Chain A
Amino acid sequence: MTAPIAAAAARGYGRNYLPFAYPALAITAMVIVFPWLFTLFMSAHEWKIGSPREFVGFANYVKLAGDPRFLESIGHTLWFTLLSVVLPIAFGTGAALVFNERFPLRGFCRAVFILPMMATPVAVALVWKMMFHPQLGVLNYILTSVGLPPSLWHTSIDTVIPTLVMVEVWHWTPLVMLIVLGGLAAAPTEPYESARLDGANAWQMFRYITLPLIMPFVVLAVVIRTIDALKAFDTIFVISEGGPGTASETINIYLYLQAFAFYNIGYASAIVVVFFVLIIVLAMVLLWLRQKSKWS
């Protein structure tokens, strides 16, 4: 008897309270579901702004599969994302370990360290672009002052992606540091006391205590950084515009060109759909990793 009563109560609960969810459902449908369905719809059409729309089925997807620039842009996106995640995670974790220790002016140093994160990406990109100028930029001046050869930075096919990653690392390492620092602050102290009594050295304590304890936070930082790096547009557009040639053209940049420079809305919609699938796959992998890294 208890189960049917509980089920009936649940039904009543749903009936009485469901109307309160309708506004949220309506807004979700308007701002998330409708744009998505419309994008899917558009991806099945050939539509150039100023021209009539024509249904083409999967033709845009077939064209994408053979579009060398799109395929190249996937490679650039993944390479840029990998570097823009791994390096800030490594440097940010290192910085968090340093800032977790007690030393004079620690608070001031922490504040200075997180300053880059507060600047807007476009402003940051413009300043770095000036510093990258091969002849007049301050970075080559510094390099040559210490006897190193000047670099071509964003003006060379070989160095453009590492150059863009350098800006990302400078900008977002503080975010990783803050997340990991939070993990360190929440970590219990007892395991360290036991380890010291057992004669563990600093590396062993880091490897077997600190790292497992902060791992959920590191994975959280990886998730946030991956999503950010995949979305990166402003820094790349301002500094290199996807160039030289197509050397730093990521999916976002190619998508922007197709949609807003060439006005190929149907084709750009197909790129959005494929990009979305790629992001979903990566997000699933990261969420699985996050589940695995949770403290038991």
Chain B
Amino acid sequence: MTMTTRKENRRGLSRRAALRAGAGLLAAPAIMKVATAQTSGAFNWRRFAGQSIEVSLTLGPRANVLRAHEKEFTELTGIKVGSEAVPEQQHRQQVVIQFNSGNPQFDVLTVSLHVQKRLVGKAKWLHDMKPLLADSQLTAPDYDFPDFTGGGLRWATQGDGRMDTLPLNIDPWMIYYNKELFAARGLAFPKTFEEIVMAAEKLTDKASGQFGWVSRGLKNANVPVWTSFMLGYDVDPVNTKTIQLQTMTDGAIAAADYYKKLNREFAPPGTVGFNWNEAQTSFSQGKIGMWIDGIGFAPPLEDPTKSRIVGKVGYGVMPQGPKARHSATFADGIGIPVASKKREAAYLYCQWATSKLMCNRLLQSGGGSPCRASSYTNPEVVAGIKLPREWLQCLQDSAAIGRQGLPEIVPVTEFRDVFGVGLTNTLGGADARAEMQKATEAFTPVLAKSEA
């Protein structure tokens, strides 16, 4: 040390010290900018540059859009992202097990709100986004939070007022129909549940392998079809205020009978074993009149390499039921585990994922319906959508009549399983009331225990 000091003293300023000082001078503006941002309250995307975060996504179009532009996020923030996309069911299981371990291996995750909202909310596994949104140092000035739709925000907000996710996507259910088959029979898209049956009947010609209707029938996957009809009878499966099942009401039984009629009389054989992919494959071959499912299946139907009905697909809003008109909706959010040690960097990712730019990209890809109003009104964004305008209109109209398609309870998967078995038996010919009675008796104690 003494030697060095003496040397520097002798030579005045060493070359290394001069270089160091020069670099310091060059970097000074940037350092000052960051320091000012940190102390003055100004937002800076690069504030957490150098950190790394792990992102756990549900495999699907939303994850594809996010992962395709991940590098942009790293360039913008200097935060490295390690992401994985896991198939839906396995993702739900994986994140619950990791949360329960107390040490989840991810800093950001997507949450299927229609299945896991109450579970993650009750366990308080996720950070409340509200304080983060209110922090001007952490939230970009152009984030434009009021741009989020009321529906999206309701999905993201827990019963106690905490918002533990940011809304990422809403999936309203609607009816795809084959315009060519409808035109050949001189039919218009049905306006009521009754007209669905009438149209399905006219479109069905079993001898030629043509059917008026197709939908999921497989246990668990079939429950949203039933609840879609149930909403037309103005009934929710569970009264969320009293936490009582409403599955033995006349509306619920009528919905099960209606589902049974459509699938047994006008659908191809074997739909009790169909999930969305089998139904989609059948519909895309051009011999099915109508298919009820989520709005996100338009891209494969309009893809000539996967579909025989490109340009012939009609997009119909759920018709009027006997008592009400609703589109069953499902949603995804994006959140940050309480256990994450990189909360701020993770929050920047969530902001970026739900920014106007990313929402616009999601809408244009056709793989989802973002929760920002501006995405649907921005003419440039709309012009960039490759799917037909009819699809966009259907999406907007369906969202306008949206109502939760699954009950907001902890054991949603068990609900789907127990009632799914009853519905499969019903579709197989069993009495709807007896099956719903059995399922209701089996699920009542599960629900009671979950809320105890």
Q: Which stretch, A104-112, A113-121, A153-161, A191-199, touches the partner chain B?
A: A153-161
- Which size bracket describes the interface of A in this complex? 20 to 34
Asked if B281 is an interface residue, CB under 8 A from chain A, the answer is yes
From B93, B209, B272, B421, A135 is in contact (CB under 8 Å) with B209
Per-residue CB contact flags for chain A residues 134-174 toward chain B (1 = under 8 Å, else 0) read 11100000000000000011111100100000000000000
Q: B268, A134: Cβ atoms under 8 Å?
A: yes
Asked if B14 is an interface residue, CB under 8 A from chain A, the answer is no
Chain B hits for A245, CB < 8 A: 219, 272, 421, 424-425, 428
Asked if B282 is an interface residue, CB under 8 A from chain A, the answer is yes
Q: Kindly state the separation between the CA atoms of A157 and B273 in the bound complex, as whole angstroms.
A: 9
CB distance from A257 to the nearest CB of B (A): 7
Chain A hits for B122, CB < 8 A: 50
Q: B96, A49: Cβ atoms under 8 Å?
A: yes
Chain B 131-188 interface residues, beta-carbon cutoff 8 Å to A: none
Q: Kindly state the separation between the CA atoms of A260 and B94 in the bound complex, as whole angstroms.
A: 9
In this complex, how many residues of chain B approach chain A with their Cβ under 8 Å: the count is 36
From A136, A153, A243, A260, B93 is in contact (CB under 8 Å) with A260
Q: A241, B219: Cβ atoms under 8 Å?
A: yes
Closest A residue by C-beta to B273:
A155
Q: Kindly state the separation between the CA atoms of A259 and B266 in the bound complex, as whole angstroms.
A: 37
From A155, A157, A160, A257, B271 is in contact (CB under 8 Å) with A155
Q: Kindly state the separation between the CA atoms of A155 and B413 in the bound complex, as whole angstroms.
A: 22
Q: Kindly state the separation between the CA atoms of A260 and B100 in the bound complex, as whole angstroms.
A: 12
Closest A residue by C-beta to B100:
A49
Q: Kindly state the separation between the CA atoms of A277 and B237 in the bound complex, as whole angstroms.
A: 40
Q: A135, B282: Cβ atoms under 8 Å?
A: yes
Q: B424, A50: Cβ atoms under 8 Å?
A: no
Asked if B285 is an interface residue, CB under 8 A from chain A, the answer is yes
Q: Kindly state the separation between the CA atoms of A242 and B424 in the bound complex, as whole angstroms.
A: 12
Q: B96, A244: Cβ atoms under 8 Å?
A: no
Chain A hits for B123, CB < 8 A: 50
**Given known A-B contacts A134-B268, A154-B273, A260-B93, A244 and B282 have beta carbons under 8 A apart:** no
Q: Kindly state the separation between the CA atoms of A133 and B268 in the bound complex, as whole angstroms.
A: 11
Per-residue CB contact flags for chain B residues 81-94 toward chain A (1 = under 8 Å, else 0) read 00000000100010
Q: B96, A257: Cβ atoms under 8 Å?
A: no
Q: A49, B417: Cβ atoms under 8 Å?
A: no
Per-residue CB contact flags for chain A residues 240-278 toward chain B (1 = under 8 Å, else 0) read 111111100000000001001111000000000000000
Chain B hits for A241, CB < 8 A: 218-220, 275
Q: A262, B417: Cβ atoms under 8 Å?
A: yes
Asked if B274 is an interface residue, CB under 8 A from chain A, the answer is yes
Q: B270, A134: Cβ atoms under 8 Å?
A: yes
Chain B hits for A242, CB < 8 A: 219
Chain A hits for B99, CB < 8 A: 50
CB distance from B83 to the nearest CB of A (A): 23
CB distance from A256 to the nearest CB of B (A): 9
From A49, A134, A155, A246, B97 is in contact (CB under 8 Å) with A49
Chain B hits for A261, CB < 8 A: 89, 93, 413-414, 417
Chain B 422-440 interface residues, beta-carbon cutoff 8 Å to A: 424-425, 428
18 A–B pairs (Cβ distance < 8 Å), ordered by A: A49-B96, A50-B96, A50-B99, A50-B100, A50-B123, A50-B410, A135-B287, A154-B273, A241-B220, A243-B219, A244-B217, A244-B273, A245-B428, A257-B417, A260-B93, A261-B413, A261-B414, A262-B417
Q: In the complex, given contacts A50-B410, A241-B219, what are 9 additional A-B residue pairs having Cβ atoms less than 8 angstroms apart?
A: A50-B100, A133-B278, A135-B209, A152-B273, A155-B273, A155-B274, A244-B272, A245-B272, A260-B97
Q: Which residues of A contact B (CB under 8 A)?
A: 49-50, 133-136, 152-157, 160, 240-246, 257, 260-263
